[in-house]
Structures are given as C-alpha cells and as structure tokens.
Structure 1
Amino acid sequence: MTNEMINRHNDFFDAMNDWFDLPRKFFDETEITKLMQSDVAENDHDYVINIDMPGMNKDDISLNYNNGILSVAGARKAFKDVAHNSSIIHRERSIGHISRSFRLPNVAANEISAKYENGVLTVVLPKQSTDKNDNSIKID
C-alpha cells in the first residue's frame, strides 16, 4: 500500500516536471545539433570543419561565408524508397530544412573549398595571411 502511494506521488510530480520543462525542451537546440554534428579544427594555415549531413544530396546543401560567419544549410525534400501502396508504421527520418553557423574570423573567402562525401561535408577555410609589410601604423 505504501509503495502504491509513493508511486502515485512520483507519477504526479514527474508529470508536473514534464509540463514545466516544456519551454526548455521547445527551445532546446540539442536535437538540432544532433542532426548536424560537427568538428572544427584549426591549424596555422586554415580551419577545417567536418559536418555530418547524412541523407542529403550535394545539390541540397548551401554554404555562405559573410562577415566572418560560415553558414551551412541543407534540406531533405522527400523519401522515395517507400512502396507506392504501403503506409508508414513508424517514421524517424525527417524531411525539412536545417542550418548552422560558425564564427571563423580572418578567412580568405575566395579560397574556401568544400567536398561532400559519404554524408560528411568537409569545408576548408584558409586563413588570411598576415603580411609582414602590412600598412599598420604604430601610434607613439
């Protein structure tokens, strides 16, 4: 009897926690970042970003570098591997649009390269070279 009362008490508070936790879950971006998991590496010459984008066609991925920010966007339109006369019983693959941005300063924008292979987008962003004869002026 006591265990039954404790379980009812826990069920009530678990339900209340789920209700009050809804706004955090609604705005939580962890689900988004799971879809575009990425690694960003840096060396003396460039930044290298590897982004998992499985199930997307290369033509449905767009890249843009502007004001020190690399924006990556992708879309999945429809899945055509379901037989015509069948109905879906369970669906986990999503259809839609997703994007992420990365702040990467001092990049030579005209030298950025990218390749998409086996569901992984690799973007190489060469750093701008700092010329020893730059035109900076020292203030005394």
Structure 2
Amino acid sequence: MVNEIMNRNNLMRDFFNGDKWMTSFPSLFEDSALEGSNLKTDIKETDKDYEVHIDMPAFDKKNIDINYQDDVLTVSGRRDSFNDHNDKNGDMIMSERTSGRFMRQYHLPAADVENIKANYDNGVLKVILPKLEKKTSSEHHIDID
C-alpha cells in the first residue's frame, strides 16, 4: 500500500515537473513536510520499564505537559516565537525554525502510573515509565453449584 502511494506521488511529480510551484511543494511522504511538527523520539523497552527520549529543543520546561492515561503517554508542548525571527531589513535568507503547539502520543501498555518520572535537560525530555509487575497466574479450580 505504501509503495503504491509513493508511486502515485512520484507520477504526480513527474507530471508537474515543469511547474515551479508544484516542484517546490513538499511531498506529504517526505520528512521535510513534517519537519518541526514531529517530535523525534527514541523508545527503549526493558523487562522493568520503558525509557522515552524526545528531542524538544528550545522548549521551556514549564510549557511541556506529560500525561499517561489508558496505556497512552501523551507529550505536548508549546514553543514560543523566536525573538530574533524578525527581519526588518529583509536580510533573512532562510527560516526553518518553527514555533507553536506540538503533540505526540505513544502506546506503552501497563505502566506504573505512580512511579513515572520525567526530566528535561539540554533540549531532551526523558520519561521513565516503570512497568507494572506481572501477576503470576496460578490455576484456581471453580466448582459449579
């Protein structure tokens, strides 16, 4: 399915190859189209916990919100506009930094909500979600009345 969509996307690009506007329009299937709105993440799972690292450069810690509900970790934040982004003299050559609201959700089942810990250091949010201890299931025979 993904290959079919990518092939259609490439055909459309070929069709509009001479059109300057269309060739500069980013593809929905390239990283450049998602740049800035996609919080880059690494997730490590061990027997004891999940460890989530999320790149959130230039975020103020007070503007980051973390929530865990129904086996889903939700991380959202707001990055304010950049003060040096103003271009009064028309000297700006390129502008790629983004501001605004961002959110990602991660399905991480059976975390111990009472012991989730998070810290934010040097533009990286680290969230540790300890797993709930698995209950050992012992067979229990039930008599029928």
Larger radius of gyration: 1
Same fold (TM over 0.5): yes
**Residue of structure 2 in register with 1:63 after alignment:** 66
Cα displacement (A) at 1:95: 1.2
> What CA deviation, in whole Å up to 9, does each residue of 1:82-130 have, x standing for no partner?
5796566232111111100000001111110000000000000000012
CA distance in 2, matches of 1:33, 1:81: 18
Structure 2 residue aligned with 1:80, among 80, 83, 86?
A: 83
**How many residues align structurally?**
125
Contact 2:73 2:106 in 1 (8 A): yes
With structure 2 as the length reference, what TM-score do the two structures score?
A: 0.69
CA distance in 1, matches of 2:109, 2:53: 18
**Residue of structure 2 in register with 1:92 after alignment:** 96
Question: % of aligned pairs identical?
Answer: 34
> What CA deviation, in whole Å up to 9, does each residue of 1:24-56 have, x standing for no partner?
62xx58415874111111001000000001111
Q: Alignment partner of 2:105: what SS?
A: strand
CA-based RMSD of the aligned residues comes to 3.5
Contact 1:107 1:127 in 2 (8 A): yes
Please tell me the residue identity of whatever aligns with 1:60: N
State yes or no: 1:51 paired with 2:57. Answer: no
Cα displacement (A) at 1:15: 4.7
Flag the 1:11–1:66 CA change in 2: closer, same or farther, 3 A: closer
Gapped regions of structure 1 (runs ≥ 5): 1-9
**Residue of structure 1 in register with 2:41 after alignment:** 38
**Residue of structure 2 in register with 1:121 after alignment:** 125
Gapped regions of structure 2 (runs ≥ 5): 1-12
Please tell me the residue identity of whatever aligns with 1:119: G
Cα displacement (A) at 1:74: 1.3
Greater helix fraction, Structure 1 or Structure 2: 1
